[in-house]
Structure 1
Amino acid sequence: MDDDQHRSDADAGSRKQHVPPPVLAAVAFGVQILLSEKRASSKGSRIAGAIIGGGAGLLMGGAVLEFRRYHTTVNPETLDTSTLVVSGPNRLTRNPMYLGLAGVLTAHAVWRRSWPALIPVALFAAVIDRTQIPAEEAVLQQRFGIEFKRYRAVTPRWFGVPRRTVTKVHR
């Protein structure tokens, strides 16, 4: 068996155990419902939740549109990844779709006025940050090399102010 076949078999085996991020978000949402079932929303919490959810939806939707514009997949672990998308929401965060999912979960917790409903948001973000993102970034590093390394150096994983690159001049 050659190395490529062995790596392909190993990748297929790890994917069998992989839980897709939207499924993790759905489970987190279900837990939120259980944690906040007796909490009623108020007009203010509904407005705040709608604003947060709307922003999260725009972030996710904008990222998906950008990926479609470049004719590449939103799943970097597949062989269909053809372009490193660094524009649109990806200028601000390397993970706009995951940040958007966390935002939707946060919006639900705010809507329901439930502090305990923020626990599944934190757990979702931690699981994605420790398992999903490192696996995806390893694939992107392998596929795009220095281009991804530069992108990773200036763009925050979740959110923050993108850093400027400093080019050293050698004389």
Structure 2
Amino acid sequence: MLKWIDMPPVWLAGFLAVAWMQSSHYTMGLSLGETWAGLLGGLLVGGGILLVVMAALEFRRHKTSIVPHETPERLIQSGIFRRSRNPIYLGDTLILSGLILRWDAVLALPLIPIFVWVIEKRFIIPEEDRMRRKFRMDFARYCEKTRRWL
């Protein structure tokens, strides 16, 4: 049961809840400016959703697991995975950043680097360790040519 609760979307939802609470109840008179923050926020959310969908389609196309706690059957290096080893986590970070901007949650901005840190420690590093053991040299070459985030 805990394995299914400890998932990136659950972490993202928790961080979003904190940001929304801050924007709704603890504004403290701070603002990023509604017009540009709303526009940039919308672009970030849209870009994040697009990255997640593109990555999910690659997982489906390669018929391998998208579940973070499982080792995939295949090493995906095509599509969006040519640009980023972790496009879903990057997409989640863009969604969090975009909604913080759209909600004008100035005090929640530090949640972004904290979210990145949590995702790296809880998911990315253990996933990369499993993939390094399974795919060995293929994964090493992939890491050399493709960055972890961007």
Q: What TM-score, normalized to structure 1? A: 0.76
Question: Could you give the per-residue CA deviations for residues 106-155 of structure 1, whole angstroms, max 9, x where no partner exists?
Answer: 00111122322222222111111123111000111111111001101111
Q: Is the 8 A contact 1:94 1:155 kept in 2?
A: yes
Partner of 1:78 in structure 2?
70
- Of residues 102, 114, 132, the one that matches 1:141 is 132
Question: Could you give the per-residue CA deviations for residues 71-107 of structure 1, whole angstroms, max 9, x where no partner exists?
Answer: 111125425x211011111111111001100100000
1:37 counterpart SS class: helix
Question: Could you give the per-residue CA deviations for residues 13-54 of structure 1, whole angstroms, max 9, x where no partner exists?
Answer: xx7597211111111001101221155873433222111111
1:97 counterpart SS class: helix
CA distance in 2, matches of 1:91, 1:155: 6
CA distance in 2, matches of 1:16, 1:54: 29
- Pick closer, same or farther for the CA change 1:83–1:33 going to 2, 3 Å: same
CA distance in 2, matches of 1:55, 1:147: 29
- One-letter identity of the residue aligned with 1:87: S
Pairing 1:52–2:44 present: yes
Higher relative contact order (CA 8 A, sep 6+): 2
Q: Where do 5+ consecutive residues of structure 1 fail to align?
A: 1-14, 160-171
Pairing 1:124–2:111 present: no
CA distance in 1, matches of 2:104, 2:3: 37
Partner of 2:59 in structure 1?
67
Q: Is the 8 A contact 2:55 2:81 kept in 1?
A: yes
- 1 or 2, which has the higher helix percentage? 2
Partner of 1:96 in structure 2?
87
Q: Is the 8 A contact 1:77 1:139 kept in 2?
A: no
CA distance in 2, matches of 1:149, 1:18: 30
Q: Where do 5+ consecutive residues of structure 2 fail to align?
A: none
User: Alignment length, in residue pairs?
Assistant: 144
- Pick closer, same or farther for the CA change 1:18–1:53 going to 2, 3 Å: closer
Percentage identity across paired residues of the two chains: 32
- Pick closer, same or farther for the CA change 1:91–1:152 going to 2, 3 Å: same
Q: What TM-score, normalized to structure 2? A: 0.86
Aligned CA RMSD, in angstroms, stands at 2.1
